[in-house]
Every structure is written in C-alpha cells, then in structure tokens.
C-alpha cells in the first residue's frame, strides 16, 4: 500500500540526525499509487529537494528526482530518471554532478541521505 511506503520514507528521514527542518507533501492517487515530495534543510543549510511517484507493487519508481544544493541553492548533485540521456548505460537513471552526467542505478532516499552525510563530514 502506498501509505505504508510513504511512512517508510518518513522514517528514513527521521533516522538522520543532521536534518534541521523537513517539509513533506503526499498525495495518494489510489491505494497503490501516489506522489511524495519534500525538502530537507540540513544543519549546514544545504538542502535536499525530492520527488517520487510510486506504485507500491513495483520495485522501481515511476518518476523520481533528488536534488542536493548548497546554502546558495547551487546544485551539488541531482539524481533523476528523466529520459533525456539516452547514451547513459543506466538510462533513464543517471546522476548530475555540476556539469557532468554519470551512470547511476536508481537510488533510494536512504542512499541519498547516506551520500549527503558522507559529504558533510
């Protein structure tokens, strides 16, 4: 069920102690499909904005974007599955790092938060 998936994501966020402020928006399309978006402000004033469109019966997300920015709102990285980099081995999944496009499997929110925690050390 989609509500259980949303709850799981909220629990993942609560596990990370360096999150200073969190806003989350959820919309259920039906019992199995929904949309969740949010912003997390970290103690460093860096920010993660994320969006997931999910069907709870399918492992992969329908759509996602995780954009991590510094305190000046300059992108540090972004993961997404927008179908615009056909030459990437993991198409449509990829990672933007400043001007570079990199191969990337579909990440989880937990993996994104771990990557951010390592960058903040």
Instruction: Write down the pLDDT at residue 121.
Output: 76
Tens digit of each residue's pLDDT (9 = 90 or more) over 35-84? 999 999 999 999 999 999 999 999 999 999 999 999 999 999 999 999 99
**For 42-67, b where at least 16 C-beta lie within 10 A, e where not — what string?**
beeebbbbbbbbbbeeeeebeebbbb
Mean pLDDT across the chain: 95
| CB contact at 8 A, 22 and 30 | no
pLDDT higher than threshold 90 for residue 26: yes
For the chain, the structural domain boundaries read 2-119
Residue 54 corresponds to which tokens in the numbers above?
């999910």
pTM: 0.94
């Amino acid at each position: 069920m989609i509500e259980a998936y949303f709850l799981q994501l909220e629990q993942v966020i609560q596990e990370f102690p360096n999150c200073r402020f969190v806003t989350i928006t959820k919309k259920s399309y039906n019992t199995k499909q929904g949309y969740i978006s949010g912003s997390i402000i970290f103690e460093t004033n860096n920010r993660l904005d994320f969006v997931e469109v999910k069907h709870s019966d399918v492992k992969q997300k329908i759509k996602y974007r995780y954009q991590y920015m510094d305190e000046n709102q300059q992108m540090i990285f972004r993961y997404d599955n927008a179908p615009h980099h056909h030459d990437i081995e993991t198409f449509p999944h990829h990672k933007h790092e400043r001007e570079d496009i990199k191969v990337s499997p579909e990440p989880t929110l937990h993996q994104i938060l771990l990557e951010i925690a390592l960058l903040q050390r």
